[in-house]
Structure 1
């Protein structure tokens, strides 16, 4: 079921003001709900706006998407959510005509971007605690609250904060910081350019770590055994007995390993 609401803010402007006031921001809300079996994944692909996943109840998936705009046309942005034959759920916000939505991302559509369309879409998605999550946007933050499944969280312009108590967490951005908490069950990678990286790991973690920054410091709450040349900005080392590889890269920012 879809529900929609609109509001418009108004302001009293003194007659002496010659400049026209800025357009008031408007919004509308879109909703979808379904179910997700254990071991399945919710894939979300956004372009302009934030993404937040949080633990819900039972096997329910509840999606709430708020469109916000000042001068754009919200009808130009389509939101789609559906359950696939494999049991996974895919959710997309699409700005271009003829775009299509798949697990791998937003496909096709016109190549030209309407630069006058300032519509943003902000998602809040409640999923079963056991869900795997693949959350993506371009302009906006990504936040995944405490879940138990695998988490992949990616943006370009925004911070990433993602946590799982029972699975691995991967994260990537370009202009923003990363804070991640999860298990190392296989190789993991964290990348940004302008921002810090903080990775919180269980005290009994065993991993091979490769940590590199250009303008920043690398610090660790864990005792580490160096496996290469000691360099405060380029560390190749073992945590515990070593194991899966954890790679973290930034240019402008520090890297820190935090012990839970």
Structure 2
């Protein structure tokens, strides 16, 4: 009887262990389902009209990040992920709305964006509601005209083309790129690393409250025009500076034919004998021009 009772207890213990294990698996499944329900995500593939030729990506969003990677592929792959709205942001949004105390909030985690292609130009449009982050794969030889305003950074890697990049409240990082760039980031840093620069093409970089940190190939040929009102300027290029001249205009309508003389703190010079103009303009941040 003692042996039989022991066996019965062992069997009950094993059953309890199995039930406990099943409960843990069920809980893990519930947690996983709860996690994926918080984030809306979608991936679409856009074929090009002529995959053997370079293309152009155009997109401008209000809220969110843009990450672009150049690949050996022949298509544009776009993944959009909608961020869940934080509770504090939701409460702030509701301050000016009607009273909803005691009612249940139904969250809208739906994701909306569109993409269209015509003659190797791909246009991506995001929703004005919420915050959507984009990760995009493009063929390596691709030009970009991209911008975002709030709650996100712009990151580009391994792309060769003409790039027009703008971010109002976030950082811009362009890594291991080739081609030419026009970039402005109002309140954050601009960091660019060129592998190769398109010859005989002008470029421009501007910021108000961030640093501008650009690395060029050491054989760069360019005329440099640089200014930072409250920051410093650094370079390891052998920059042959030129004296700056005052800007004179004539014929202000309010003052007759008066001369208007303005002296600005621009530094101008040439690198490796000179070439197309590269402009750097900053207000509160530093300008760093590196040779690699």
Q: TM-score, normalised by structure 1?
A: 0.76
Query: Match for 1:94 among 117, 124, 127?
Result: 127
List runs of 5+ in structure 2 lacking aligned partners.
1-31, 91-106, 246-264
**Distance change (3 Å), C-alpha of 1:80 and 1:254:** same
Change in 2 beyond 3 A, CA 1:191/1:197: same
C-alpha separation in 1, matches of 2:77 and 2:153: 19
Supply the RMSD in Å over aligned alpha carbons: 2.3
Partner of 1:156: 168
Provide the secondary structure at the position in 1 that maps to 2:73: coil
SS of 1:91's partner is strand
1:7: Cα distance to partner?
A: 5.8
Runs of 4 or more above 3 Å deviation? 6-9, 71-75, 163-166
Task: Compare the two structures and name the one with the higher helix fraction.
Answer: 2
What is the 5 A alignment of 1:1-260? 8=34, 26-36=38-48, 37=51, 38-70=53-85, 71=90, 73-75=108-110, 78-84=112-118, 86-95=119-128, 119-139=130-150, 140-163=152-175, 165-182=177-194, 183-185=197-199, 186-229=201-244, 234-260=266-292
Cα displacement (A) at 1:39: 2.0
- Is the CA contact (8 Å cut-off) linking 2:65 and 2:154 kept in structure 1? yes
Q: Matched residue pairs, number?
A: 215
Question: What is the CA–CA distance in structure 2 between the aligned matches of 1:148 and 1:56, rounded to whole Å?
Answer: 11
> What do residues 177-224 of structure 1 show as CA deviations (whole Å, max 9, x unaligned)?
001233153111111101000111111111111111111110111001
Instruction: Give the conservation status (yes or no) of the 8 Å contact 1:169–1:180.
Output: no
Larger Rg: 2
In the alignment, the residues of structure 2 paired with residue 213 and residue 227 of structure 1 have an alpha-carbon distance, to the nearest angstrom, of 17
